[in-house]
Amino acid sequence: MSSATDVAYLTRALKMPRARQVASSLADTARDEGWDYTEFLAKVLSEEVASREAHGGENRVKAARFPQTKTLDDFDFTHQRSVSKQQIAHLHQLDFIREAHNVVFLGPPGTGKTHLSISLGVQAARRGYRVAFASATDWVMRLGEAKRAGRLADELERLGRIPLLIVDEVGYIPFDPDAASLFFQLVSSRYEQSSLIVSSNKSFSAWAEIFGDAVAVEAMVDRLVHHSHVHVLKGDSYRLKDKQREVMATTETT
Ligand SMILES: Nc1ncnc2c1ncn2[C@@H]1O[C@H](COP(=O)(O)OP(=O)(O)O)[C@@H](O)[C@H]1O
Ligand SMILES: [Mg+2]
Q: What is the pTM of this model?
A: 0.81
Q: Report the alpha-carbon distance of residue 141 to residue 152 in Å, rounded.
A: 12
Does the CA dihedral 75-81-85-88 come out positive or negative? negative
Question: What is the identity of the amino acid at 178?
Answer: D
**47 CB-near residues (< 8 Å, 6+ apart):** 18, 19, 21, 22, 26
177 pLDDT more than 80: yes
Give the fold, CATH level 3, of 65-240. Answer: Rossmann fold (3.40.50)
- How far the first Cα of the chain sits from its last, in Å, is 78
φ, ψ (nearest 5 deg) of residue 252? -70, -35
Atom 18 (ligand 1): residue with closest C-alpha? 114
Burial class (CB in 10 A: 0-12, 13-18, 19+), 126: middle
- Mean pLDDT estimate for the chain: 93
DSSP character at residue 176: P
> What digits encode the pLDDT tens for the residues 118-137?
999 999 999 989 999 999 99
Domain residue limits, the chain: 3-57, 65-240
For the residues 92-101, what does the mean pLDDT come to?
97
Instruction: Please give the average per-residue pLDDT across 15-33, as a whole number.
Output: 96
CA-107 nearest atom, ligand 1: 22
74 Cα nearest atom in ligand 1 = 4
| CA–CA dist 169, 153 (Å, integer) | 24
Q: Is residue 1 scored above 70 in pLDDT? A: no
46 vs 19: CA distance, rounded Å = 9
User: Contact, 229 vs 102, CB < 8 A?
Assistant: yes
Task: Please list every protein residue whose CB sits less than 6 Å from any atom of ligand 1.
Answer: 70, 74-76, 79-80, 107, 109-115, 238-239
Ligand nearest to the CA of 85: 1
